[in-house]
Amino acid sequence: MRRILPKSLNGMLLLGLAMVAIPLLLAILYATIQMRRFATASENLVNASVQTTRLTQNMFGQIASLDRSARLYQVMGSATVLAALHEHDAALGGTLRELRSQLRNPEAIGAVDMVDRARQDVANGVRQAAAPADAAADTAPEARLLELADAATRVAQLSNRQIDAALRGGRET
């Protein structure tokens, strides 16, 4: 088999240039594709982290609102306060469902489930109190509210750990 070689100096220079330039162009193309993938993955990580952080902050705000409503109902026993308690309970339940869908760590999902159970216990405990005097005599809602706050703190810690692991490359988000 006969090789086709350039017969002039210009042809030889062009062949040498092509042998150097083509692999370089392929490397640049590959780097561009990888940088685009990295940018997309980083953007997705930031979006998921912001969403998880926002939901965690909402959870704490809604727990505080639920706590205030429960304590106010213990004192007043007003139907308006009870309606507000139901609204706060429903909002917290929705936030917990969204947060559960964002988390990938089974331990964090279990902590969200603990918060949800504590939320349900608080709401059921307040609903079962027939009158303000019964609610004031019942110290269990306060213990449930403390349990709720502790479980929420655990969820925040675990979601932060998930975000940190994803930033390190663990892909838990």
pLDDT in tens, 41-72: 999 999 989 999 999 999 999 999 988 888 88
| Within-domain flag for 173 | no
| Within-domain flag for 75 | yes
| Within-domain flag for 20 | no
3-state helix, strand, coil in the chain (%, to 5): 85, 0, 15
Query: Quick one: pLDDT at residue 28?
Result: 97
Query: Quick one: pLDDT at residue 126?
Result: 78
Number of domains in the chain: 1
| Within-domain flag for 77 | yes
Query: Quick one: pLDDT at residue 172?
Result: 47
More confident residue, 173 or 68: 68
Q: Which of 131-135, 138-142, 155-159 has the highest mean pLDDT?
A: 155-159
| Within-domain flag for 145 | yes
Tokens 């005097």 correspond to 133
pLDDT in tens, 7-44: 888 988 998 999 999 999 999 999 999 999 999 999 99
Residue 154's domain comprises 48-168
Query: Quick one: pLDDT at residue 21?
Result: 95
| Within-domain flag for 82 | yes
| pLDDT > 90? residue 169 | no
Residue 107 sits in a domain of what CATH number?
1.20.120
8 A C-beta contact, residue 66 and residue 90: no
Share of the chain above pLDDT 90, in %: 39
- Whole-model pTM: value is 0.72
Output the average pLDDT for the chain: 85
| Within-domain flag for 108 | yes
| Within-domain flag for 30 | no
